[in-house]
């Protein structure tokens, strides 16, 4: 009856490359018939923490087989992986997860440190067992948060050795990663990260409904979301298709503007309205000294509000766009 109101989104069939929804399984009870009904909107399920150790092997295999029957990939959590690496039993761990039917192994550095050489060895072992690596960047501990530069560096290291999307840590959604102590998005941090790493390469953990609504509103239907509760799957899917959820009405539509001098704010205004634009054009339009324009550009780049790229017309020229142009 209502089919004419509902348009399929771009990535409506699995396996999806964008617009993915990753849920968590804490062995909570769920209605299998209901799960089957909404499974087309679920791309992966992560079996939480060390919980796989608490089930009998036959029960765990049966659960993984159920997910596979609905074309849903299954991942371990990073807690088990870190333990296996720290105890030097990683390959044995990989062999067992393969036997159980896992498709991905999540890897993070909350309690361990991995060099680039370590990461390459991990990739080599996983490839030999035909298991995909799902890298997660960030710390769960609010007191040990990575800086923007550290986050970007670690993400770029992973992108050098892996084709998989990178999960951005959020833990419970408060005071970790791109979220502040209230669970609100730190817009300057998010903009700075996505000015260096394409959001297409990121899976944003978003445990809270307001975070899910904000990220869909900001990046569009093809944003990748993780750490999702099963009850929120249909709400997220409806938002991807343009319908508002209850959480959507809590979104603040205007983000914080640029910080800095009047010249910096003026340069941001010009780039916003005339992008792409190069430095010479900015000097001509604003009638500001070259040094002032250069300083303003650097300040806006540091704030994650603009991005510098080579001109398509002349690769020797640098042009400036709003970061928004780099988003999905």
Q: How far is residue 217's CA from residue 211's CA, in Å, rounded to a whole number? A: 10
Q: Which residues contact 16 (CB under 8 A, 6 or more apart)?
A: 43
Identify whether 188 is part of a domain: yes
Q: Looking at residue 92, what is its pLDDT?
A: 94
Question: Which residues form the domain of 315?
Answer: 262-326
131 and 52 in a single domain? The answer is: yes
Q: Looking at residue 255, what is its pLDDT?
A: 55
Q: How far is residue 319's CA from residue 279's CA, in Å, rounded to a whole number? A: 7
Q: Looking at residue 225, what is its pLDDT?
A: 97
Choose the final residue of a domain: 250, 273, 289: 250
φ/ψ bin of 207: left (φ > 0), alpha (ψ from -120 to 50), beta (otherwise): alpha
27 and 134 in a single domain? The answer is: yes
Choose the final residue of a domain: 224, 250, 276: 250
291 and 227 in a single domain? The answer is: no
Q: Looking at residue 324, what is its pLDDT?
A: 57
- The CATH code of the domain that includes 314 is 1.10.10.10
Q: For residue 168, give the 3-state DSSP assignment.
A: strand
Q: Looking at residue 253, what is its pLDDT?
A: 47
Question: Which value, in Å, is the radius of gyration of the alpha carbons in the chain?
Answer: 22
Total domain count for the chain? 2
Q: What are the pLDDT tens digits along the chain (328 aa)?
A: 445 555 667 777 888 989 999 999 988 777 888 899 999 999 999 998 878 888 889 989 999 999 999 999 999 999 999 999 999 999 999 999 999 999 999 999 988 999 999 999 999 999 999 999 999 999 999 889 998 889 999 999 999 998 889 999 999 889 999 999 989 898 888 888 888 888 999 999 999 999 999 999 888 888 999 999 998 999 999 888 877 766 555 555 445 567 788 888 888 888 887 778 888 999 888 888 899 899 989 888 877 788 888 877 776 788 888 875 444 4
164 and 195 in a single domain? The answer is: yes
205 and 270 in a single domain? The answer is: no
Q: Looking at residue 245, what is its pLDDT?
A: 64
174 and 309 in a single domain? The answer is: no
Identify whether 101 is part of a domain: yes
Q: For residue 248, give the 3-state DSSP assignment.
A: helix
246 and 284 in a single domain? The answer is: no
Longest dimension (CA), the chain: 73
């Amino acid at each position: 009856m209502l089919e004419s109101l509902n348009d399929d989104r771009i990535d409506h069939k699995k396996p999806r490359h964008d617009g993915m929804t990753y849920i968590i399984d804490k062995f909570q009870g769920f209605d299998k018939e209901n799960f089957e009904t909404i499974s087309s909107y679920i791309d992966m399920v992560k079996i939480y923490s060390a919980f796989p150790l608490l089930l009998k092997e036959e029960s765990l295999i049966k659960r993984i087989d159920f997910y596979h029957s609905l074309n849903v990939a299954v991942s371990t959590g990073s807690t088990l992986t870190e333990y296996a690496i720290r105890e030097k039993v990683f390959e044995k761990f990989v062999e067992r997860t393969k036997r159980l039917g896992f498709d991905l192994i999540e890897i993070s550095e909350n309690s361990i440190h991995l060099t680039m050489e370590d990461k390459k060895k991990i990739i080599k072992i996983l490839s030999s067992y035909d298991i995909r690596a799902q890298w997660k960047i960030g710390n769960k501990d609010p007191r040990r948060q990575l800086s923007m530069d550290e986050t970007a560096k670690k993400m770029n290291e992973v992108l050098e050795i892996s084709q998989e999307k990178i999960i951005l840590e959020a833990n419970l959604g408060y005071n970790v990663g791109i979220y502040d102590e209230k669970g609100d998005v730190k817009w300057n941090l998010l903009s700075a990260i996505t000015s260096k790493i394409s959001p297409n390469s990121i899976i944003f953990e978003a445990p809270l409904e307001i975070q899910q609504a904000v990220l869909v509103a900001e990046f569009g239907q093809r944003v990748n979301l993780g750490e999702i509760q099963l009850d929120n799957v249909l709400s997220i899917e409806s938002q991807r298709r343009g319908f508002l959820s209850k959480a959507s009405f809590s979104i603040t539509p205007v983000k914080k503007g640029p910080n800095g001098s009047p010249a910096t704010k003026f340069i941001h205004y010009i780039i916003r309205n005339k992008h792409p634009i190069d430095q010479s054009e900015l000097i001509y339009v604003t009638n500001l000294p070259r040094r002032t324009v250069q300083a303003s550009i650097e300040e806006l780049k540091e704030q994650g509000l603009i991005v510098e790229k080579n001109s398509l017309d002349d690769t020797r020229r640098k042009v400036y766009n709003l970061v928004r142009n780099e988003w999905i």
